[in-house]
Each structure stands twice: as C-alpha cells, then as structure tokens.
Amino acid sequence: MRWSPTFLLPLCLVTTACGTSAKHQALVERRDTIRLVDEERELGARRDYRSQTGYQDTRWGMTKEEVLAVVPDAVQHNTWGDMGVFGVIADRPAFIQYLFVEGQLAKVELHFHSPGAVRDQFHQMEELLTLKYGKPASRSDTAIDAANRLAMAEMVNNLAVASDNYHAARSGQRPSTPAVDSFGRQREANARVDAATAAYDYALASTWEDTETGVMLKGAQEPGQNRLSIHYWSERLEPYLTKALVVRAEQRKVEQAQEL
C-alpha cells in the first residue's frame, strides 16, 4: 500500500509537533523541579543562617525569641511582628526598632531624638561610625548639591557674557541679542533659590560596608521637623526584607483606604 504525499506531510508534522511538545513539557517540568529544589535549599539555609556581625549583641537571622534573649525589654509594636525598645545610644535617647522578615532579624533602625541643628549632630555621629567602620563608602548632602548646581549655572552664564564681551571688543560691535537668554537667567535664579532654601531644608546620608552588615547614617532638617537615624541591615536578608516592605506598604494603603 502506497501512502499519498498529501497525507504523509500532515502526519509527519503532527508527529514532530507531538514529539517537540512532549520534550518541551519535560524540560519545563525539569526546570520547575530544579527551581523548587533550589528554593527549598535556600529556605533551609536561610532559616539556619546566623551572621557573624550585626547590631550590638544581635545577629542577622536571629528569631524573635533569640532577640528577646539579648534584648529582654523589646516589645512587639506592629502587626508584622517587629519589636522596639527605648534606650540611650552614644549618650543620645533613641528608639531602637528590630525588623524581621519571615521571623528572622533582618534590620535594626535607631531613631534619635535630635533637637537643634541636625548637621552638627550628623557629623558627630558620622565621626563615631568612622572610628568603628572606617571611611564612609559614600556620602550625600543635598545642600552641597544645590550649591554645586548654582555654581554651574553661574559659570555657564558668566562664560556666555565673557564670550560676548570678547567678541564685541574684537569686532567693535555689540551683539543684537543678550549673551544669556531668559531661560539661562531663570535657571540661575531657580538654582539660587534652591541653594538658599537648602541652608535650612536639607538631607544628609553616609554609608559603610562591614562584611555581612550594611550601615547608613541619615539626617534631615525640614521646617518644624528634624530627623537623625542609623540603619543597620543584613546583606544576606536585605532582598527578602525589601520585598516584604513593599507588601507591607500595599497592605497599609488598603488599611488607609478603608479609613476613608
């Protein structure tokens, strides 16, 4: 019996497709199995994880019970199980907050009571942290940024004026248009306002890196409000905490919406 080519071609295509589909499904199942095994291995490793460094006597990865054994006065202060305690750090009153992700300590925040100018207090705390962790890995100061933007705007406009004056002296004729247009003048004026405002409305930050621990000192001065805080976090657990904080923020939005 001879098969017609018009019949064999669809048959071959169907057979090939079925084979390819079966192989693809097997690859997908194998990939999912490997991912599941990796996730289970990571979960087990994370549960057993205890860092060598941390904040004071606590270690990253500690359970709430382990943290309470070190900080017996800490109490739970939100629905997510984070704990806090008031204390005195470096002769400054502070609220110490212990943040957990899936039951493990992942971050500690120190929020200081900071009356007066924040900048001086920030530099004092930065000096202490530098003694412990070395030179900061990064620094930022919005007041300096604002001053730099003003200096750049002034330099651009002054160069434009100087260039016009030079060419006028060479040619003996003044240009028909101003050296600096209205946009350039407005940009400089805006930068001047920003620099003046930044003298009393600014944000400061310095960071350090210490093996398993990240450290950030933050300061902010705003009209009627000053903030100074130190943030310690686990480099190992930080990705999980970041995801958890996003979920918390969304949950908080839902709660706020229900209050309206």
Q: Are 74 and 85 in contact (CB under 8 A)?
A: yes
pLDDT at 36: 42
Q: Are 212 and 232 in contact (CB under 8 A)?
A: no
Q: Are 231 and 215 in contact (CB under 8 A)?
A: yes
Q: Are 104 and 63 in contact (CB under 8 A)?
A: yes
Q: What is the pTM of this model?
A: 0.77
In Å, how far from its chain's centre is CA 139? 14
Q: For residues 192 and 16, what is the distance between their CA atoms, to the nearest angstrom?
A: 72
**Given CA atoms 228, 80, 40, 240 in this order, what sign does their dihedral have?**
negative
pLDDT at 169: 78
Q: What is the mean pLDDT of residues 139-149?
A: 92
Q: Are 228 and 125 in contact (CB under 8 A)?
A: yes
| Close Cβ partners of 18 (under 8 Å, ≥ 6 residues apart) | none
Which amino acid appears at position 227 of this protein?
Answer: R
Q: For residues 123 and 86, what is the distance between their CA atoms, to the nearest angstrom?
A: 23
Pairwise pLDDT comparison (225 vs 219), residue with the higher score? 219
Tokens of 12: 């071959």
Burial of 228: CB neighbours in 10 Å, binned 0-12, 13-18, 19+:
buried
Q: For residues 252 and 231, what is the distance between their CA atoms, to the nearest angstrom?
A: 22
Q: Which of 124, 126, 148, 125 is nearest to 137 (CA)?
A: 126
Name, of 21-25, 99-103, 194-198, the range with top average pLDDT: 99-103
Q: Which of 105, 80, 81, 107 is nearest to 255 (CA)?
A: 80
Which amino acid appears at position 125 of this protein?
Answer: M
Per DSSP, the three-state class of 145 is helix
Q: What's the pLDDT tens digit per position in 67-117?
A: 999 999 999 989 899 999 999 999 999 999 999 999 999 999 999 987 778
pLDDT at 240: 94
**Given CA atoms 208, 109, 51, 49 in this order, what sign does their dihedral have?**
negative
Q: What's the pLDDT tens digit per position in 38-79?
A: 444 555 578 889 999 899 999 999 999 999 999 999 999 898
Q: For residues 106 and 170, what is the distance between their CA atoms, to the nearest angstrom?
A: 68
Q: Are 152 and 145 in contact (CB under 8 A)?
A: no
Pairwise pLDDT comparison (17 vs 248), residue with the higher score? 248
Tokens of 127: 């000096």
pLDDT at 11 over 60: no
pLDDT at 167: 77
